[in-house]
Amino acid sequence: MLEQNWREGDAGGRRYAYTCPSPDRYPYQWYWDSCFAAIAWRRFDPSRSRAELESLLSAARPDGFIGHTIFWEPLRGARSVFYNRVAPGDLMTASIQPPLLAWAWQIAVGDPREVPALARHQDWLAANRDVDGSGLIWIVQPDESGLDASPKFDAVWGWQAQGLPGFPLLVRRNRRLGYDARRVLAKGGPVVCEVVTNVLYALSQLALGRPSLTPTLVERLYDEQRGLFRDLVLPAGERPQPVTWAALAPLALPDLPETIGRRLIEEHLLDPERFWPAFPPPSVSLEEPAFTLNETHLGLRRYWRGPTWVNAAWLLWLGLSRLGYPQANELARRMATAVLGAGLREYYDSRTGAGMGARDFAWSTLVLELVEPDRPAAVG
Ligand code: GLC
- Read off the pLDDT of residues 328-363 as tens digits, 9 standing for 90 and up: 999 999 999 999 999 999 999 999 999 999 999 999
Mapped onto helix, strand or coil, the DSSP state of residue 241 is coil
Model pLDDT for residues 5-50, shown as the tens digit of each residue: 999 999 988 999 999 999 999 999 999 999 999 999 999 999 999 9
Class of domain 6-371: mainly alpha
Mapped onto helix, strand or coil, the DSSP state of residue 234 is strand
Whether 128 shows a pLDDT value over 60: the answer reads yes
What separation in Å is there between the alpha carbon of 307 and the centre of ligand 1?
14
* Torsion angles phi and psi, residue 372, rounded to 5: -135, 65
What is the per-residue pLDDT for 80? Answer: 65
pTM of full prediction above 0.75: yes
- What are the domain boundaries of the chain? 6-371
What separation in Å is there between the alpha carbon of 86 and the centre of ligand 1?
20
CB distance 33 to ligand 1 below 6 Å: yes
CB distance 303 to ligand 1 below 6 Å: yes
Calpha distance 183→169 (Å, rounded) = 16
Whether 304 shows a pLDDT value over 90: the answer reads yes
- Residue count of the chain: 380
Beta bridge partners of 146: none
Contact 11, 4 (CB under 8 A): no
Question: Between residues 210 and 89, which one has the greater pLDDT?
Answer: 210
Taking CA atoms only, the protein residue closest to ligand 1 atom 12 is 21
Model pLDDT for residues 266-301, shown as the tens digit of each residue: 999 999 999 999 999 999 999 999 999 998 888 888
Mutate to test the pocket of ligand 1, among 143, 153, 284, 361 (most ligand atoms within 8 A of CB): 143
CB distance 148 to ligand 1 below 6 Å: yes
What are the C-alpha distances in Å from 201 to residues 55, 122, 189, 343?
Answer: 19, 8, 22, 30
What separation in Å is there between the alpha carbon of 267 and the centre of ligand 1?
29
Whether 190 shows a pLDDT value over 90: the answer reads yes
What are the C-alpha distances in Å from 107 to residues 64, 114, 122, 136, 311?
Answer: 21, 14, 17, 23, 15
Whether 327 shows a pLDDT value over 60: the answer reads yes
Contacts of 270 (CB under 8 A, 6+ apart): 276, 325, 327
Average predicted confidence (pLDDT) for the chain:
95
Calpha distance 89→260 (Å, rounded) = 46
Q: Strands (DSSP E) along the chain, which ranges?
A: 6-11, 14-19, 29-30, 69-70, 191-193, 222-223, 228-229, 232-234, 296-297, 300-301, 347-348, 355-356
Calpha distance 84→67 (Å, rounded) = 9
Mutate to test the pocket of ligand 1, among 303, 311, 344 (most ligand atoms within 8 A of CB): 303
Choose among 80, 81, 100: nearest CA to 38: 100
Whether 251 shows a pLDDT value over 90: the answer reads yes
Choose among 189, 215, 185, 212: nearest CA to 201: 212
Whether 78 shows a pLDDT value over 70: the answer reads no
Instruction: Give the residue-averaged pLDDT of 160-172.
Output: 95
Choose among 173, 172, 174, 150: nearest CA to 162: 150
